């Protein structure tokens, strides 16, 4: 394949992948920027009752059923996808929809229903706390983004008219990244 055909193929792949990724990366840009300036969304919290004598053991094979029993006792849906477990805390996931946090205190377990607003939900998607299928999509998008960036660099290096600008921009970007992330 000639250099021109290779470059045209890479440009086509670059444009197709960029178009497919655009919605996700617009979400990531907006939510990431808002999060960094302190806009993290809001969650309305409502205390729930935990049946007396409830013990939750994160290592027990029945932990999901035990959490579902607490949800059912509060007339809540029991269809969470998975649990996020930390010492003394269990959170139903995904957190892009209403979720429950169970916490162990000195007096036993307490539970809170969390109802996130739209911004909070979008930030949770950004963080990878969404539905399992969306997380798989994000993994594919990460691989695709790598290919888009690598393809863009290759296109710039293969085109004599853009080679110097590509090398200059890449060198500047790498230097800025290293300085800001590890030196300053």
pLDDT per position in the chain (184 positions), as tens?
788 888 888 889 888 988 999 999 999 999 999 999 999 999 999 999 999 888 899 999 999 999 999 999 999 999 999 999 999 999 999 999 999 999 999 889 999 999 999 999 999 999 999 999 999 999 999 999 999 899 889 989 988 999 999 999 999 999 999 999 999 8
Distance set, CA 82 to CA 21, 87, 95 (Å) = 27, 16, 10
* CB neighbours of residue 146 within 10 Å: 11
In degrees, rounded to 5, the angle at the alpha carbon of residue 146 between the alpha carbons of residues 145 and 149 is 85
The tokens for 13 are 């792949």
Output the CA torsion sign for 26, 135, 32, 153.
Answer: negative
CA 65 from centroid of its chain's CA atoms: 26
């Amino acid at each position: 394949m000639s250099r021109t055909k290779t470059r045209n193929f890479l440009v086509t792949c670059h444009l197709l992948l960029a178009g497919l990724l655009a919605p996700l990366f617009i979400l990531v840009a907006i939510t990431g920027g808002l999060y960094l300036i302190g806009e993290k969304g809001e969650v309305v919290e409502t205390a729930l009752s935990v049946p007396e004598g409830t013990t939750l053991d994160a290592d027990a094979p029945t932990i999901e059923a035990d959490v579902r029993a607490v949800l059912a006792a509060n007339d809540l849906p029991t269809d969470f996808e998975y649990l996020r477990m930390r010492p003394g805390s269990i959170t139903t996931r995904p957190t892009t929809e209403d979720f429950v946090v169970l916490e162990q205190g000195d007096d036993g377990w307490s539970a809170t229903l969390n109802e996130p607003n739209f911004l909070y939900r979008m930030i949770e998607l950004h963080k990878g706390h969404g539905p399992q299928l969306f997380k798989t999509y994000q993994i594919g998008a990460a691989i695709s983004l790598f290919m888009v960036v690598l393809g863009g660099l290759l296109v710039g290096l293969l085109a004599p008219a853009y080679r110097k600008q590509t090398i200059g921009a890449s060198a500047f970007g790498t230097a800025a990244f290293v300085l800001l992330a590890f030196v300053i």
